[in-house]
Structure 1
Amino acid sequence: MKMFTSVPDVFLYRDFVDFRKSINGLAAIVEQQMRLSALNGSVYVFCNKGRDKLKILYWDKTGFALWYKRLEKDTFKWPKKLEQQSMNLTEQQLHWLLNGFDVLGHQAVSYASVAL
């Protein structure tokens, strides 16, 4: 499923985030630490310390939306050596990240089976 008809600016927050934070806490990170407007329609991507969960926050002109994704058997390839607080991603890099690829090195995630 596509979230957007056209993907706006995408910003990846470098540091790991406490995933007890929801919309208000993540919007505060965008405003205070990233020094960006949470209301400008951009997409903000956050990762937990275990790197197996992502949260995506965006404003869609009627309110905030928060997407959550959890990997079952692997971890997200989160960029480690960023000089800045955030990294701007292209639409393709966002899709790579959501599909388990390294946005910088393109390392694929592979699954053998799903344990339920």
Structure 2
Amino acid sequence: MIALPTGTHVYLACGPTDMRRGFDGLALMVQEVLKQDPHSGAVFAFRGKRGDLIKVLWWDTQGLCLFSKRMEKGRFVWPMAATGSVSLTSAQLSMLLEGIDWRAPVRSWRPSLAG
């Protein structure tokens, strides 16, 4: 994954997206469905109907970047809502792209007492 600048907002588009859409179609979806500016520097992620394909749209100050990833096994964990968007952190986006359940990651052991 390309390192995102600190403070970058990440949005997941809820519900399935037509994965035939490219730069312009996804940017239009960001404007009309998510009510966001695709040139704001935020990251917008979209998932296909089967759940094994994801597209990420990002404005890097010079142009729109479109990244895609297909899972060979398994599915991307996505919100259950049919419409709208969900905001994530950059760390949660990294977990999502690795196939980890970003909603409830398993934390490493943490001591209960100091010393």
**TM-score, normalisation: structure 1:** 0.84
Number of aligned residue pairs: give it: 106
In the alignment, what sits opposite 1:8? 8
Structure 2: how far apart are the matches of 1:83 and 1:73?
24
Extract structure 1 runs of 4+ deviating beyond 2 A. Answer: 1-7
5+ unaligned residues in a row in structure 1: which ranges? 108-116
In the alignment, what sits opposite 2:72? 72
Identical-residue share of aligned pairs (%): 34
CA RMSD, Structure 1 to Structure 2 (Å): 1.7
Structure 2: how far apart are the matches of 1:58 and 1:2?
11
The Cα of 1:61 is off from its aligned counterpart by 1.1
Structure 2: how far apart are the matches of 1:73 and 1:7?
31
Instruction: Indicate the SS of the match to 1:94.
Output: helix
Indicate if the aligned counterparts of 1:17 and 1:49 stay in contact, CA closer than 8 A. yes
Structure 1: how far apart are the matches of 2:5 and 2:104?
27
5+ unaligned residues in a row in structure 2: which ranges? 107-115
In the alignment, what sits opposite 2:46? 46
The structure that has the greater radius of gyration is: 2
The Cα of 1:101 is off from its aligned counterpart by 1.2
The Cα of 1:105 is off from its aligned counterpart by 2.9
> Residue 84 and residue 20 in structure 1: after superposition, are their counterparts in 2 closer, same or farther (change >3 A)?
closer
In the alignment, what sits opposite 2:88? 89
**TM-score, normalisation: structure 2:** 0.84
